Amino acid sequence: MAAERGEFSSRLGFILAAAGSAVGLGNIWKFPFEVGNGGGAAFVVMYLLFCFLLCFPVMTAEIAIGRKTRRNAVGAFYSLNSPAWSFIGKLGILSGFLILSFYNVVAGWAFGYVVEMLAGNFDIGNHFGDFVADWIKVGSYGLVFMATTAYIVSHGIQKGIERAAKLLMPSLIIIMVVLLAYSLTLDGAMDGLKFYLVPDFSKINGPVVYSALGQAFFSLSLGMGALITYGSYLNRDQNIVQSAALITLMDVGIAFLAGLMLFPFVFSQGVEPTGGAGLIFVTLPGVFENLGPVVGVVVGTLFFTLLSFAALTSTVSLLEVPVAYVVDEHKVPRTRAVWLTAILIFVVGIPSLLSNGATSIFTNFMQIIGIAQEGATDHSFMTFVGWVANDTFLPLGGMLISIFAAYIWKKENLSEELAQGNENYIGSYTEKYINFAISYLAPVVLSIIFVLTVLNRFFNIQLIG
Ligand code: TRP
């Protein structure tokens, strides 16, 4: 059975695939602009706290549930004799659908930038607005991206997901280090670093906390069963706690480096860092242009290639979640499951595709349904989907997974699974902390923030300033 489902060939393969899932647009595109909107270093501090104290323990629980049951995000709960709790997995699959539907649109932009730059369109950054509004063009790039994702997933675990991650992740890190080194030499780099690294805690308010939490979950690919699914392909000899720690470190490290690279670029141009979604697509290409035609094109193309690679290992994991479900539970052959799901998600993404200037119906979506927030400039459908899926469903999923692991499956069983491949686990401080975090910290903190987020985002009620 295990052989039929597929398995990662090695620990490195698993870690790279899971880190590949984690590292994506979330780190390189979303994290910097969330920092820009959320007041700089104060946001960074909140994000780091959430990642290490709260998300890391939840991650070990997710992977353990997957490996124990060797089943997909929904089936795993059946295997643990808790069919009623399988709604967690169903919620996860829904979140995955929603996330991939808009994620693929942005991935299509990144890929489109590579093509445009190679075709001699160096100043594409000046035409970002027209570019994203041209739905036929960006729709085609998105379609190619989704097809590439599907192609990889259709080749299964070792030959598809693992192989792609082993190739793409190291390339990404190399490109990133080169760009970082360059950015630190620019005039204005210091101002960028100051904004990024010196926290002003007066800037922390409710929305900053909600976004930081949503970002932590999103960035770690947590709370929707992606890691249950990847864990289900993990071998019993592997140390889950150590792997989860490495995945968290790599993810946080790369997000951190992305900021370190980006803010010097942004400040060297004398631009405000609050550019939102356009930060990476408008501001950065402007910087590349100033480097002159040759260097600019090389650096620009490299950067957007990096972004596309990062996105690809993430879209692969997002697609794998529903695919694993359909393959395991409904016995659909993998190839067919992959292509059908990919097409469906692409179709679900069409409103997001159109919400960036092609039509105003979707753009003003939040105003139309009456949840637009005062002072907010972005009322698009895509932002709305992000609020629902990233900021609401993922932390909710994380809370439910913690409660399930601690009280339904039971801590002892979790510990037993985490001790496989980690002899000294039982009785260690790590065990004590993980148990504390999933039994008390995560359920309490996540349920409070869940209520506050829903009130704030969807009813515009702000209980805590
Ligand atoms: N973590 C990815 C990023 O930062 C996005 C992602 C991939 C994701 N798979 C996921 C988010 C599963 C939530 C759940 O870009």
Query: Given the CA of residue 25, which atom of ligand 1 is nearest to it?
Result: 15
User: What tokens appear for 144 in the block?
Assistant: 């190619």
Prediction pTM value: 0.91
Q: State in Å: Cα 285 to ligand 1 middle.
A: 25
99 lines ligand 1 (CB under 6 A): yes
Say if 386 falls within a structural domain: yes
Query: Given the CA of residue 311, which atom of ligand 1 is nearest to it?
Result: 15
390 lines ligand 1 (CB under 6 A): no
Take atom 10 of ligand 1 and give the residue whose Cα is closest: 221
227 lines ligand 1 (CB under 6 A): no
Say if 465 falls within a structural domain: no
* pLDDT tens readout for residues 149-185: 999 999 988 888 888 888 888 878 888 888 888 888 8
Closest CA to 262 of 247, 246, 275, 248: 275
Say if 328 falls within a structural domain: yes
Q: State in Å: Cα 197 to ligand 1 middle.
A: 25
Q: Which of 30, 307, 317, 391 to mutate to test the pocket of ligand 1 (most atoms within 8 A of CB)?
A: 317
Q: State in Å: Cα 120 to ligand 1 middle.
A: 32
* Structural domain containing residue 189: 2-459
Q: State in Å: Cα 219 to ligand 1 middle.
A: 6
* pLDDT tens readout for residues 99-110: 999 999 999 999
Q: Which of 218, 251, 319 to mutate to test the pocket of ligand 1 (most atoms within 8 A of CB)?
A: 218
Say if 222 falls within a structural domain: yes
Take atom 14 of ligand 1 and give the residue whose Cα is closest: 221
386 lines ligand 1 (CB under 6 A): no
CATH of the domain at 323: 1.10.4160
Counted domains in the chain: 1
Take atom 7 of ligand 1 and give the residue whose Cα is closest: 314
Say if 23 falls within a structural domain: yes
Name, in order, each residue with C-beta under 8 angstroms of 56's C-beta and a sequence gap of 6 or more: 244, 245, 248
Say if 464 falls within a structural domain: no
Say if 132 falls within a structural domain: yes
Say if 428 falls within a structural domain: yes
| pLDDT tens-digit profile, the chain (465 residues) | 444 688 888 888 888 888 889 999 999 888 988 888 887 898 999 999 999 999 999 999 999 999 999 999 999 999 999 999 999 999 999 999 999 999 999 999 999 999 999 998 888 888 898 999 999 999 999 999 999 999 999 998 888 888 888 888 887 888 888 888 888 888 888 888 888 898 888 888 888 888 898 899 999 999 999 999 999 999 999 999 999 999 999 999 999 998 888 888 888 877 777 666 777 898 788 878 877 778 888 888 988 988 998 899 999 999 999 999 999 999 999 999 999 999 999 999 999 999 888 877 777 777 777 776 666 667 788 888 888 898 899 999 999 999 999 999 999 999 999 999 999 999 999 999 999 999 999 999 999 988 988 888 788 787 765
